[in-house]
Amino acid sequence: MSTAAAKQQEPNDSQPLWREAELRAADAMGRLMEFWGFRRHMGRLWTVLYLSPEPMTTAELSETLQLSSSAVSLSLGELVRWGAVRKTWRPGERKDFYQAESSVWKLLRRVYERRELNLIREAIDAFGDAQRHLEEARGRLSGADRRRVDYMRQRLSRLSALSKAGERLVRLLVAGRMINPADLQSAEEED
């Protein structure tokens, strides 16, 4: 074997080192994203794109993470909808390239605005509906049932107050303002 051929077969020692670091970071972000309620692959793909100095194709992402092209496409579509990844093009290229949103704060704000605030508002509405239902039922009840309804109304009022305090805290967080976790404690009444 010639010296040139031997050099071509020699592995590039720096690539496995940075690839291993890239995959470790991608796996860590994947676990974090999964904990947050997203698919693990979304976190892994975003991290590989975030760490890449150049936009990447679906095929490159597929190869890097050893995922099927359909799994990559599905996750990329979801990441694009969340604004975590954007599609880019290169002149003369027919392939789509993808690039990560580099502002992690923007991503967090988007998730809090689109998901957490909506869930909190839904809970506040549900607690209000439950309280109204109990108020209507209370007049037709007596004795132990009425005491139970009064107890439930009190507890629902506390849950509602906590949810409203949580909504205020998330809004402050999204706005980049100081938050005081004590607001949650003050919203909860003593038994």
Q: Domain coordinates of the chain in residue numbers?
A: 11-102, 105-187
Q: Which residues pair with 85 in a beta bridge?
A: 100
Tell me the C-alpha distance between 26 and 65, whole Å: 9
> Does the structural domain 11-102 have CATH classification 3.90.190.10?
no
Per-residue pLDDT at 13: 54
Residue 77 has pLDDT above 80, yes or no: yes
Q: Distance between CA 104 and CA 111 in Å, rounded?
A: 11
In which band, very low, low, confident or very high, does the pLDDT at 15 lie, cut at 50, 70 and 90?
Answer: low
Of residues 17 and 23, the one with the higher pLDDT is 23
pTM assigned to the model: 0.72
Quick check: 173 and 112 in contact, CB under 8 A?
A: yes
CB atoms within 10 A of CB 61: 23
User: What integer is the mean pLDDT of 71-95?
Assistant: 94
Q: How far is CA 108 from the centre of its chain?
A: 7
Count CA within 13 A, CB hemisphere, residue 79.
Answer: 30
Question: Is the per-residue pLDDT at 179 higher than 60?
Answer: yes
State the Cα–Cα distance between residues 18 and 11, nearest whole angstrom: 13
pLDDT category, 4, cuts 50, 70, 90?
Answer: very low
| Residue 6: per-residue pLDDT | 39
Q: Which amino acid belongs to residue 127?
A: F
- The predicted-structure confidence for 20-76, as pLDDT tens digits, reads as follows 999 999 999 999 999 989 999 999 999 999 999 999 999 999 999 999 999 999 999
